[in-house]
Structure 1
């Protein structure tokens, strides 16, 4: 019985072995047909083709992966020992695969619960970098191993090591050990000390995290690990290790990056690495055709530099304070193509890209999202009346919220267009109170904002962080009359053979109907023509334009988001440490004074010589002149008028006729004692018989008419006095709008 069982087990074992052998042969045969052909001389593939980046007009703006190859004798023995010790200690002993090293790495990674060691040999890594960077599956690993075995059978160990040292990436744009030595130490690869060699050998595993220019502490910890590996593998003694640790590193200064397109390129490269993997991006010989307009990029740098230099002569600065920073994003409305991206004032001083960082508060520049939601969800129009008054909102579990206007004044009844033009906070807060945050957040998501947004009423005033790139997408959607085009950076990607890996096709999504968005667009034109953004016109920009200013609490963020028919540009200005921006006299910098001038400088250059393009008016829209306080159609008695764009289905009403005194009355009888004389014609102005409600009202029909019964003389006089008193009180409350200068605390923003 036992003998039979043993025979069955042995038979099954040998059967599995035979099946395994033939399966392996079959897999090898199938995969080997697709393997790349090795050249006769490994030096022919020492340098993989560099990846090239092109601007929108075909100019090469970046070459990624340029290398300066050197022979093995021109590489410091210390570096050769260091790279072998840390990457492949048995390099000169194995035939391309190190099973024990693979198992050891697997054990260490499981023990640490994270990847701390790789199991690939130097030959496998070279195979992957040269041929299989773009593949990410188990078939790639098998092909990688097969090529590694072929390389080991074809070339000497020194040839493989030389190719590897010339191929790998060391961070800071340095490819190959010669370029890395020049970048980090300003010397040739043959002249590296033990400490310097160990630092460089530690970089390929994590070239960005271990970069000494980014974090010297983290880099030195990695260097200590490399030195320990060199000691344990017998390349250096204990004394040499200690001497190296106490020697001078002599780190060079980071090279100043003079490429004005670098913020744009950094963002594009990071996205490509996410989608295709860093190996293909850095070693694949790709051709990346971007949306960048190099002229616009120069204009952005010049505009920011010019205005910020002028501002810093006027602002108050504490000792040691960092300079003002800036971000600018320019988007083509019809395609979503990003034509310019400025992530800071100087890339050589700070590589942090503020254009894509979502930690800055948009302030009032968020209000158009609230207004659009109110018009969509509540049926409001630019002529809807809201009362600007002291407001207290009790929020469960928190203190009472009392939103304040910029100047701590209240306008009383005011139409929505005028409220947006003057950036009245109370009106925006009232709209949010009626809508609730969820509906506003849904609108923001439809317009491209992906950053976390707080579900609280103060969101109406822009109290959640967003990025300039996101805000450019929002305003471009408005300019594009409801069509959202995701901001995009790449038009086309080709591999080294010219095969297209990716091509961008315009596929905007109609998120809102044109006649729903156009009334908001027209309101934002009012911001530029006579509201908080009138700085645009004062500086001489005469193209049809619309936009909105934004200033966060304590003057920490200044924004101007604006657009023409073709181009949307968002500008942010502020300090990295969130310090308030104040003039020397204590006044705060606002979106109008800090950001709008940069927008104007940029736009004037970008649109130089181009025709002035009006915004097309969609079907179903008409224009009306309305009283800015009542929302009724304007009359000769209207103290202030404003033109609004409304949907055809919105019917605005004329103001009710003022009460008249009968013509039969004698002059003595029609005179009101102790009151202002009536206007010419015997007419006494009065407020509508049905007063404007404190809540939003769109006057869609005439107000109720007075009773048909003829009044007595006494009744007429009493009514006239009451009407005049009401009018005087209303005028005292409302007043006429005062033209305010830019840049100071009088600016509403």
Structure 2
């Protein structure tokens, strides 16, 4: 009996141990299953929209991010990891997360170390957040300190590690983190602090910027230079301890004198800010989108902007205006073939003034308006390129002889009998007024309207000299008609808008062309306008900077300087002046032409030069420049000129006596004095079967 009792007592502890073992195994199994289910749930669940995704983004024609529409004033430019300086990447990892490539989103060892130090000091002196945790906070969470937020942070951190590679997480982090003064992401920060792309940051600059996110206000070199330098030293020391650099390299970087952007130079706004503002107005005012949707709807806006052309435009304006306190400028460039806006600069400095001068309708275009009038004369066949007027001081009578008008040529220079080519090249005012009186101001205005000019135009002789104010946008639109063989295409900036899921909310219709004038008339005028950049032309001083066929017209008033011109690919208007109507000095009045030249050549440097297409109904013949009649072998000075077929001179020059009673036209052949390769090619093409 006693044995049985003892034996039963021995069984109870054994049974209890088995029960505890089973419970432990069961609990462990439940834990593993729970972790697996949680892992599966997190893996299959979509991450919420990030704050940057909720903001609408605007893209260039090639898909580059231009700007973010946000009422928080965020400036963000997304770049690839390969477009970020390796020094900045190393400095960030050494400072923020040395175990980044070894952990799964949480640095357990770092968390334990931080907990020990904080308990020892009885305050929070060290954190242990990984880059992934910081990214989760910045992308998806507010800055409130609650347990629920910490749980969400852990979940989002795990999801980021599951769904993205380490390289992708690092790229997202460097494009998202806040660097102060409205700059989000390293590209915006590099541009704001140093005026250079992130890929060009050196070690010293990288160490400064890598230290800013810990306290964007406290460590900003603009706010507290000493704090910024102290933080830079910590970053450099961290890089030494991780073996990224030597102590000698750290000391040299710390001693480097950094060149920060001045307040006037720096901007915390997006690339192409004037274009961004224009796109906003188009989306809200023309396309009917609500502003709240634009700010928080996560729209993806695809535009026509060519980022390389835009950068060329901004650089050209900056190179000529420099740090001028008040001088303003505008540049608008449109592809005449489809109306797409490729570049837009609305002013000299967006930080100083957000007024977009591209759309200012208070500026007189001066002589740059003349080609519109000459196109009317050619298209109506009331005049030809050989039509002559006497360039001399003239008192014009108009309005049934009740009014008079007495224009002057610049510098009181008068050329005598000249034709249209000479008048355009030298910008002769007397010839221009003779032309508008012959053609009729009303007819000129009617054509201007068809070409895209909507500003009020006064039907007076001075209209020929550009006295009615017109915006640069209208001028580029009108000249695009000339460059597009007489066809008009409405300018467009927004091509497509989608929501965050890619659903198309708006898509621009295919460009609709309207034939405004015959191609031959547009080509003849184009050929005449090329003379502006040749010897004796008002744009000749910048001709060496443009290594391709180009046509254009300068315009100068006491307060405005213009050059409006085009190639087969771009129609560009450049304006320079003061906002308050201050008189331009001689040097200031000459800045529009070099801006145009620098922009055109840089924007098209990857595009092979092309001649302007020659329509079938164009003929070229030799004329006598003195009489405008067909030249004979006896004419000492003859020149090759272009005409709309059927408008060319029919009479031979008789001022030079010939022994042959029946003179014949001189065969058209290449002029030996022709210097430009495209002129040789063009003459050959015209002579092959057009003459």
Could you say which TM-score interval applies, normalised by the shorter chain?
0.5 to 0.7
**How far did 1:324 drift?**
1.3
Distance 1:561 1:253, change over 3 A: closer
Distance 1:58 1:383, change over 3 A: same
Q: TM-score if structure 1 supplies the norm length? A: 0.53
Cα distance in 1 between the residues matched to 2:73 and 2:511: 40
Cα distance in 2 between the residues matched to 1:418 and 1:433: 19
Query: Is residue 58 of structure 2 the alignment partner of residue 60 of structure 1?
Result: no
- What does 1:357-372 correspond to in 2, within 5 Å? 357-372=360-375
Match of 1:280 in 2: 293
- What does 1:24-423 correspond to in 2, within 5 Å? 49-65=54-70, 256-274=267-285, 275-276=287-288, 277-309=290-322, 322-395=325-398, 400-423=404-427
Cα distance in 2 between the residues matched to 1:657 and 1:455: 39
From 455, 458, 466, the equivalent of 1:454 is 458
Match of 1:580 in 2: 583
Cα distance in 1 between the residues matched to 2:271 and 2:467: 32
Cα distance in 2 between the residues matched to 1:402 and 1:444: 24
Query: Is residue 568 of structure 2 the alignment partner of residue 568 of structure 1?
Result: no
Match of 1:496 in 2: 500
Cα distance in 2 between the residues matched to 1:254 and 1:579: 24
Match of 2:626 in 1: 629
From 428, 443, 447, the equivalent of 1:443 is 447
- For residue 598 of structure 1, give the secondary structure of its aligned residue in structure 2: helix
Q: How many residues align?
A: 426
Is the 8 Å Cα contact of residues 539 and 600 (structure 1) preserved in structure 2? no
- What does 1:522-541 correspond to in 2, within 5 Å? 522-535=527-540, 538-541=543-546
Q: TM-score if structure 2 supplies the norm length? A: 0.57
Post-superposition CA distance 1:432-485 (Å, at most 9, x none): 112322111111111111111122221100001111111111111101011111
Is the 8 Å Cα contact of residues 50 and 64 (structure 1) preserved in structure 2? yes
Cα distance in 2 between the residues matched to 1:577 and 1:659: 60
After alignment, is 253-262 or 489-498 more displaced? 253-262
Match of 1:123 in 2: none
- For residue 267 of structure 1, give the secondary structure of its aligned residue in structure 2: helix
**How far did 1:535 drift?**
3.0
**How far did 1:487 drift?**
1.5
**How far did 1:511 drift?**
1.2
Query: Is residue 657 of structure 2 the alignment partner of residue 644 of structure 1?
Result: no
Is the 8 Å Cα contact of residues 536 and 600 (structure 1) preserved in structure 2? no
Distance 1:63 1:45, change over 3 A: closer
Distance 1:637 1:413, change over 3 A: farther
Post-superposition CA distance 1:58-92 (Å, at most 9, x none): 011112237699xxxxxxxxxxxxxxxxxxxxxxx
Cα distance in 1 between the residues matched to 2:379 and 2:312: 37
**How far did 1:46 drift?**
10
Unaligned runs of 5+ in 2: 1-47, 75-177, 183-262, 666-691
Post-superposition CA distance 1:326-365 (Å, at most 9, x none): 1111111211110100001111111010011111110000
Cα distance in 2 between the residues matched to 1:285 and 1:371: 48
Match of 2:519 in 1: 514
Distance 1:324 1:253, change over 3 A: closer
- For residue 628 of structure 1, give the secondary structure of its aligned residue in structure 2: coil
**How far did 1:659 drift?**
4.9
Cα distance in 2 between the residues matched to 1:511 and 1:528: 26
Post-superposition CA distance 1:633-667 (Å, at most 9, x none): 2346656544321122124232016458xxxxxxx
Cα distance in 2 between the residues matched to 1:325 and 1:639: 48
Match of 2:596 in 1: 599
CA RMSD of superposed structures (Å): 3.2
Post-superposition CA distance 1:579-624 (Å, at most 9, x none): 11114xxxx654xx22111111112211224311111110111112
From 650, 653, 663, the equivalent of 1:655 is 653
Is the 8 Å Cα contact of residues 634 and 656 (structure 2) preserved in structure 1? no
- For residue 273 of structure 1, give the secondary structure of its aligned residue in structure 2: helix
**How far did 1:286 drift?**
1.4
Cα distance in 2 between the residues matched to 1:631 and 1:639: 13
Is the 8 Å Cα contact of residues 333 and 476 (structure 2) preserved in structure 1? yes
Is the 8 Å Cα contact of residues 561 and 591 (structure 2) preserved in structure 1? yes
Query: Is residue 490 of structure 2 the alignment partner of residue 486 of structure 1?
Result: yes
Cα distance in 1 between the residues matched to 2:519 and 2:646: 14
From 547, 550, 553, the equivalent of 1:545 is 550
Query: Is residue 437 of structure 2 the alignment partner of residue 426 of structure 1?
Result: no
Distance 1:490 1:536, change over 3 A: farther
Cα distance in 2 between the residues matched to 1:48 and 1:409: 62
Cα distance in 2 between the residues matched to 1:659 and 1:589: 50
Is the 8 Å Cα contact of residues 535 and 597 (structure 1) preserved in structure 2? no
Distance 1:469 1:640, change over 3 A: farther
Distance 1:571 1:398, change over 3 A: farther
**How far did 1:502 drift?**
2.0
Unaligned runs of 5+ in 1: 1-42, 70-178, 184-251, 313-321, 661-680, 684-699, 702-749
Is the 8 Å Cα contact of residues 634 and 657 (structure 2) preserved in structure 1? no
Cα distance in 2 between the residues matched to 1:68 and 1:442: 44
